[in-house]
Amino acid sequence: AAGVIQSPRHLIKEKRETATLKCYPIPRHDTVYWYQQGPGQDPQFLISFYEKMQSDKGSIPDRFSAQQFSDYHSELNMSSLELGDSALYFCASSLRGAGADTQYFGPGTRLTVL
């Protein structure tokens, strides 16, 4: 079965640079979620989109922005990168319109800021 796809899988950036992470949800899923997992930490919710509209917002820094496109894929844009942004970024998708009771997680993008 198709799973959530994230790209790139690994990304290395310098401080103050920008990064764009992409997420391709499971086909027909209408909701995308972004999570950040720092070293030794549990995943923290950043933001979610339902039917291309932002539906919930967590602890996402103002330097980050995200959107969901007409084909339901989502991009997380991160600017003015800081060392503390080094983390594993997960995307998850669900079919909220059908009363989703499970989020399916992608493999994550490991971002390293030098």
Partner 1 sequence: GDSVTQMEGPVTLSEEAFLTINCTYTATGYPSLFWYVQYPGEGLQLLLKATKADDKGSNKGFEATYRKETTSFHLEKGSVQVSDSAVYFCALLTPGGGKSTFGDGTTLTVKP
| Residues in touch with partner 1 (CB under 8 A) | 31, 33, 35, 41-45, 48, 50, 56, 58, 88, 90, 92, 94, 96, 99-108
Nearer to partner 1, 68 or 94 (CB): 94
Residues in the chain: 114
CB of 44 to partner 1, least distance (A): 8
Minimum CB separation of residue 16 from partner 1 in Å reads 27
Beta strands at 109-113 and 10-13: parallel, antiparallel or unpaired: parallel
State the Cα–Cα distance between residues 25 and 2, nearest whole angstrom: 9
- Nearer residue to partner 1 within complex by CB, 11 or 88: 88
Shortest CB 42 distance to partner 1, Å: 4
Q: What is the CA radius of gyration of the chain?
A: 13
| Residue 50 vs 61, nearer CB to partner 1 | 50
State in angstroms the smallest separation of the CB of 20 from partner 1: 19
Closer to partner 1 at the Cβ: 44 or 79?
44
CB burial string 28-43: b at 16+ within 10 A, e below: ebbbbbbbbeeeeeeb
Residues 59 and 83 sit within 8 Å (Cβ to Cβ)? no
